[in-house]
Amino acid sequence: MGYTNYWTNKRAFTGDEWKRVKDEYEWLKEMGEGIIIDESKNNDEIIFNGNSIGDLDHETFYINKKNDKESFNFCKTARKPYDLAVWHLLYFINNETGAMKKISRDW
């Protein structure tokens, strides 16, 4: 078990939405330097985890621009420091785009 963030995609991101999400993610990486480890392989995805140094990593967060069907997703963070980045990005996406149906987290 572990502390978990949940989200349901509704549709793919538009080009403008994805640009805003990527810009927010770039800001998060700057703010979370040393905490967030970017594992993205191309511009159509955001993949990151916590820093493995000091055992600050857990499950990898993944979101894709082109996910065009409704899907349920989750990321267990065990309340490690990168959890704040996961929740911040989900909250941003939910409030700034129409691509999310629902977000939630364990309390």
Domain that holds residue 42: 4-105
pLDDT of residue 68: 81
- Total count of domains within the chain: 1
What SS3 string covers the chain?
A: CCCEEEEEECCCCCHHHHHHHHHHHHHHHHHCCCCEEECCCCCCEEEEEECCCCCCCCCCEEEECCCCCCEEEEEECCCCCCHHHHHHHHHHHHHHCCCEEEEEECC
pLDDT of residue 86: 98
Cβ–Cβ < 8 Å for 49, 59: yes
pLDDT per residue, tens digit, the chain (107 aa), is: 579 999 999 999 999 999 999 999 999 999 999 999 999 999 999 999 999 999 999 999 999 999 888 999 999 999 999 999 999 999 999 999 999 999 999 98
Model confidence, pTM: 0.94
pLDDT of residue 58: 97
pLDDT of residue 1: 52
Residue 88: both structure tokens together: 């911040």
